[in-house]
Amino acid sequence: MKRMLHITMVLVASLLFSAPVMAQTNPTAFLKSVDKKLKPLLDDTENNKTKIIKIMNNMMDFEALGKASLGKHWADRSAEEQKDFIDTLHAVIEQNMVTRLGSSKDHVIAYQSQTIDGQTAAVVTTVSAGTGPRAETTEIEYKMQRAGKRWVVVDMVTDGVSLVSNYRSQFNKIITNDGFEALMKKMKDKLAK
């Protein structure tokens, strides 16, 4: 009888805790859990901004994204400049995402596929806005990597356009023409608006 009770308790515990564990070990489940947490907050992004940012910070690896975005210019920067760049880029991305999320509360996300290759993964989704023949569908591929026992997003490819590649191209042009200081000034000016 004790053995049966023990087995029952183990099964109940595994059912109760399998969703969080699955979200940590499966990239698609992780993204679905993020979506589930974000959805109720999108009706009032202004008042839920802090909660939304906390969820995003758990979802994305801003250091990896920033380092990849700066590309060949990363090694030329001092540790202090690298930190300032990552912090500023982080703030710019947060600002953009919170603004855009507010207008996407009625969008429908469909998880299309998942590919895992060791410590990296890609999850392809489609996001539909509207219904019927006029519905617009956008493909978003989340490039992810393992960070300990969980997955984090290091790039997002929207309809074939990589966020990292887009930033790298813009940043390289500004640094090449005007210098790193000009890039930082532009980013900080954008935040001040």
Which residue carries 């994305």 as its tokens? Answer: 60
Question: What 3-state class would DSSP assign to 146?
Answer: strand
The β-bridge partners of 125 are 111, 140
What does the pLDDT read at residue 152? 95
DSSP annotation of 74 reads S
Q: Which domains does the chain have, with CATH numbers?
A: 2-192 (3.10.450.710)
Cβ-contact 90, 67 below 8 angstroms: no
What does the pLDDT read at residue 83? 96
What does the pLDDT read at residue 1? 35
pLDDT in tens, the chain (193 residues): 333 323 222 222 333 333 344 445 799 999 999 989 988 888 887 888 889 889 988 899 999 999 999 999 999 999 999 999 999 999 998 888 877 776 666 788 899 999 999 999 999 999 888 777 777 888 999 999 999 888 999 999 999 999 999 999 999 999 999 999 999 999 999 998 8
148: left (phi over 0), alpha (psi -120 to 50) or beta: left
C-alpha dihedral sign at 125, 127, 132, 136: negative
What does the pLDDT read at residue 24? 56
Q: What is the DSSP string of 79-116?
A: HHHHHHHHHHHHHHHHHHHHHHHHTTTT-EEEEEEEEE
